[in-house]
Amino acid sequence: MSHRLFTRPPAPLVLRLLLWLAVAAWMWVIFAFSAQTGESSSGLSGRIAAVLSRWLFDTDWNALEPSRQQLLEFALRKTAHFCEYALLGFLWAAALKAQGASRQGMLLAPLAGLVYAGADEWHQSLVPGRSPGLRDVAIDFCGVLAGVIFLCLCAALAGWLAQKKGRRA
């Protein structure tokens, strides 16, 4: 049995170009974050964690126990990994959908996300103070899957609402 990856009519060219441009721009943002040295990346995480500690615990960052600081910074870093790749997965899926991807074609989004996550971790291995990790690839891949699933759910909901509206007319 033959499965075609692109079976639907594509969206207008301008929309397709904008979506692929958004994919490329977000991949560049991820690359730029990964290009930060370990010191720079830790500094950024530390500043964000300090704001979160004030908001979550109503206390100054320096007043937190070191174990709580480490836990908050770890959770922040892994959540950032997940979220940046969830957006990438959403954008990949949107661009593929605009190209007319079938359900099987939509599987290209998580595959592309997985490849990019692996390449991103390899890139980090070349940056001073950074190191690659399979756990990060797994978290990134879960983020991509969440983004793709979210896009598919949004598309299904939009289709259901359009169908329901059409019945009322």
What is the mean pLDDT of the segment spanning 17-34?
97
Domains held by the chain: number: 1
Does 64 map to a domain?
A: no
Does 144 map to a domain?
A: yes
Query: C-alpha angle 42/43/49, rounded to 5°?
Result: 85
Task: State both tokens at 15.
Answer: 């929309």
Does 107 map to a domain?
A: yes
What is the mean pLDDT of the segment spanning 138-166?
92
Mean pLDDT across the chain, nearest whole number? Answer: 90
Does 133 map to a domain?
A: yes
CA 10, 12, 13, 16 dihedral sign is negative
For residue 103, CA distances in Å to 7, 38, 163, 168 come to: 9, 40, 20, 29
Helices (H), the chain: 13-34, 38-57, 66-98, 108-125, 134-168
Does 104 map to a domain?
A: yes
Does 43 map to a domain?
A: no
What is the mean pLDDT of the segment spanning 140-152?
97
Does 8 map to a domain?
A: no
Choose among 45, 44, 38: nearest CA to 132.
38
Measured between alpha carbons, how far is 100 from 42 in angstroms, rounded to an integer? 41
Which is more confident, 157 or 63?
Answer: 157
Which residues constitute the domain of residue 93?
13-35+80-168
pTM for this predicted structure: 0.87
Residue 154 has pLDDT above 60, yes or no: yes
Does 63 map to a domain?
A: no
For residue 89, CA distances in Å to 86, 106, 114, 157 come to: 5, 10, 10, 18
Measured between alpha carbons, how far is 66 from 69 in angstroms, rounded to an integer? 5
